[in-house]
């Protein structure tokens, strides 16, 4: 389940006493003894009478805006919220590592049916997410107002994610294998750019440099150990551009999800939408667009549309490990089911972190799992014995990545914070 977001709100002061007609008087400082967060400093000054009654309207506006503001990159959350974000980020890293490792293990039995496994995730999540959404609605956690949020945003999320899948698969079929994860690291850069244009967010120089260092560190970690043969020198520029466009689509979907939480909080008077509202409708529209693109996607994977039913039957038999020898799909159905469960938990954790912080923070947190996953996969594992040794460039890349994360999260002094706010 998601980690609750603690929103601190100042207690309302009692109304001022009735005065004679024509007399104007500022409210008495009845709440002056109640401690308020640092960012409510203007409101505290107004309550004490420093700015007079003319600043009371401004104070109320700031309090209302603070209820729906997302903590971007600079410490505008309270200590309790900050602790919750840290715990959610740590859980996301753990789940991200387990998700990547279990995906590799799930491909041991499903090595001939990765496209089938991808479709199980796409269409299976719709059923699971909407079932959870229905339960939470009956329990009163999800309100009718949440379900009435504009569906055009969810449709855009589904369209962008489906386009990201389609363009990514098209580019992957034409690119050398080692170049794919490297080009995919443009995701962070796209998120940085799109959050500026869509959300109007501003970033400090250390945050921008930190994101670039994280991207560089991931690239160094992924390509560690050397790449045999040509990398991108013999590849037409068109396909690398398509792969980066795929990352832009995925980044755009994540930024729109963050926008849904921000805009939804305004529509719901400070209460953010439940994550399963966003997950369910976003996954539903994604499944719809993937279904419409299914002939194109199956051809990209070398599966003609006429052979798709037979491929699905064989994939289901391997997934369930029925109708054949147990040696044909070793580890099924346990490993695929473990991966699906972990992938669902990871996706929920990421969206919960987006809700609590920002899409960029969630992506930076998930990126930390890349070198950790490579290290875990280098160890001897069940169904993957032997292990591999890690090169020096991997260690350098991991160090650069951690340095980038530390640089991004440098504390911001109060003067700069007030200026950005």
What is the rounded average pLDDT of the residues 232-253?
Answer: 84
Tokens of 182: 């490297």
Ranked by mean pLDDT, which of 68-77, 142-151, 380-389 comes out on top? 142-151
Residue 311: the pLDDT is: 92
For the chain, state the CA radius of gyration.
Answer: 25
Pairwise pLDDT comparison (302 vs 154), residue with the higher score: 154
DSSP state of 227: -
Residue 361 banded pLDDT, cuts 50, 70, 90: very high
Residue 62: the pLDDT is: 40
Question: What does the pLDDT look like over 23-61, one tens digit per residue?
Answer: 444 444 333 333 444 443 334 333 333 444 433 334 333
Residue 351: the pLDDT is: 94
Residue 248: the pLDDT is: 95
Instruction: Tell the residue number behind the tokens 């449709």, with chain if given.
Output: 155
Angle between helical axes of 334-356 and 114-138 (0-180°, round to 10)? 50
Among 76-85, 116-125, 243-252, 304-313, the minimum mean pLDDT is found in 76-85
Percent residues over pLDDT 70 in the chain: 73
The answer to whether 260 touches 280, Cβ cutoff 8 Å, is no
Q: SS3 breakdown of the chain: % helix, strand, coil, rounded to 5?
A: 65, 0, 35
The answer to whether 371 touches 217, Cβ cutoff 8 Å, is yes
Residue 80 banded pLDDT, cuts 50, 70, 90: low
- Indicate the domain borders of the chain: 1-68, 78-420
The answer to whether 164 touches 249, Cβ cutoff 8 Å, is yes
Whether the predicted pLDDT of 123 surpasses 90: yes
Helix (H, G, I), strand (E, B) or coil at 224: coil
Among 158-167, 222-231, 264-273, the minimum mean pLDDT is found in 222-231
Please list the residues that pair with 384 across neighbouring strands: 381
Q: What is the overall mean pLDDT for the chain?
A: 78
Residue 54: the pLDDT is: 38
Residue 322 banded pLDDT, cuts 50, 70, 90: confident
Residue 309: the pLDDT is: 92
Whether the predicted pLDDT of 76 surpasses 90: no
Whether the predicted pLDDT of 130 surpasses 80: yes
Whether the predicted pLDDT of 65 surpasses 80: no
The answer to whether 55 touches 46, Cβ cutoff 8 Å, is yes
Question: What does the pLDDT look like over 169-223, one tens digit per residue?
Answer: 888 878 876 677 778 888 989 999 999 999 999 999 999 999 999 989 888 887 7
Question: What does the pLDDT look like over 299-317, one tens digit per residue?
Answer: 888 899 899 999 999 999 9
Residue 235 banded pLDDT, cuts 50, 70, 90: low
Residue 259: the pLDDT is: 95
Neighbouring CB atoms inside 10 A of 35's CB total: 7
Among 18-27, 196-205, 404-413, the minimum mean pLDDT is found in 18-27
CA distance linking residue 323 with residue 265, whole number of Å: 51
Residue 78: the pLDDT is: 52
Residue 326: the pLDDT is: 52
Question: What does the pLDDT look like over 140-153, one tens digit per residue?
Answer: 999 999 999 999 99
Which whole-number Å values give the CA distances from 324 to 115, 206, 310, 327, 337, in the listed order? 20, 57, 15, 8, 19
Residue 342: the pLDDT is: 96
Tokens of 21: 């007609």
């Amino acid at each position: 389940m998601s980690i609750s977001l603690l929103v601190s709100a100042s207690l309302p002061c009692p109304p001022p006493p009735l005065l004679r007609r024509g007399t104007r008087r500022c409210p008495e400082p009845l709440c002056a003894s109640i401690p308020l967060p640092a960012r409510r400093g203007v409101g505290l000054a107004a309550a004490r009478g420093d700015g007079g009654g003319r600043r009371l309207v401004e104070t109320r506006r700031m309090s209302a805006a603070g209820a729906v503001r997302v903590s971007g990159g600079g410490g505008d959350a309270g200590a309790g919220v900050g602790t919750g974000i840290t715990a959610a980020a740590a859980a996301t890293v753990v789940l991200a590592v387990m998700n990547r490792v279990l995906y590799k293990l799930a491909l041991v039995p499903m090595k001939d049916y990765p496209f089938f496994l991808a479709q199980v995730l796409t269409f299976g999540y719709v059923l699971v997410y909407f079932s959870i959404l229905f339960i939470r609605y009956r329990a009163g956690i999800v309100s009718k107002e949440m379900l009435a949020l504009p569906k055009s945003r969810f449709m855009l999320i589904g369209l962008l994610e489906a386009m990201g899948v389609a363009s990514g698969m098209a580019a992957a079929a034409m690119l050398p294998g080692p170049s794919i994860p490297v080009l995919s690291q443009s995701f962070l850069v796209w998120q940085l750019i799109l959050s500026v244009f869509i959300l109007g967010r501003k970033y400090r120089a250390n945050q921008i440099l930190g994101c670039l260092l994280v991207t560089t560190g991931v690239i160094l970690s992924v390509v560690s150990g050397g790449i045999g043969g040509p990398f991108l020198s013999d590849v037409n520029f068109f396909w690398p551009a398509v792969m980066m466009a795929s990352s832009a689509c995925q980044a755009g979907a994540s930024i729109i999800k963050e926008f849904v939480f921000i805009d939804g909080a305004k529509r719901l008077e400070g209460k953010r939408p439940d994550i399963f509202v966003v997950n369910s409708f976003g996954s539903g529209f994604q499944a719809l667009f993937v279904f419409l693109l299914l002939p194109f996607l199956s051809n990209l994977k070398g599966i003609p549309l006429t052979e798709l039913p037979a491929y699905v039957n064989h994939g289901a038999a391997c997934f369930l490990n029925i109708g054949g020898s147990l040696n044909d799909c070793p580890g099924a159905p346990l490993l695929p089911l473990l991966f699906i469960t972990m992938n669902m938990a990871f996706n929920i954790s990421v969206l919960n972190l987006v809700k609590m912080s920002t899409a960029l923070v969630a992506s930076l947190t998930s990126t930390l799992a890349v070198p950790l996953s490579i290290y875990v996969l280098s160890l001897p594992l069940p169904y993957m014995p032997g292990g591999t040794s890690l090169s020096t460039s991997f260690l350098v890349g991991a160090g650069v990545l951690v340095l980038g994360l530390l640089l991004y999260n440098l504390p911001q002094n109060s003067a700069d914070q007030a200026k950005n706010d």
